[in-house]
Structure 1
Amino acid sequence: MNTLAPTRAAARATSATAPTADRLLDAPLDELLAEFGVDLVVSSITDPGFTGGTYVREDGSVLFAMRRGQPASEREMLARAMLGAVLRVPMPALPAPYQLTEL
Structure 2
Amino acid sequence: MGVGTVINTPAEAGLARMAADQVQAPVRRDLAPSMAGEDFAFYLQQRPGAFVWIGNGELRDGAELHGPRYDFNDAILPVASGWMAEVAKTALSAK
Name the TM-score, length of structure 1 as normaliser: 0.28
Structure number with higher strand proportion: 1
Question: Which of the pair is proportionally richer in helix?
Answer: 2
Q: Decide which structure has the larger Cα Rg and report it.
A: 2
TM-score, length basis structure 2: 0.29
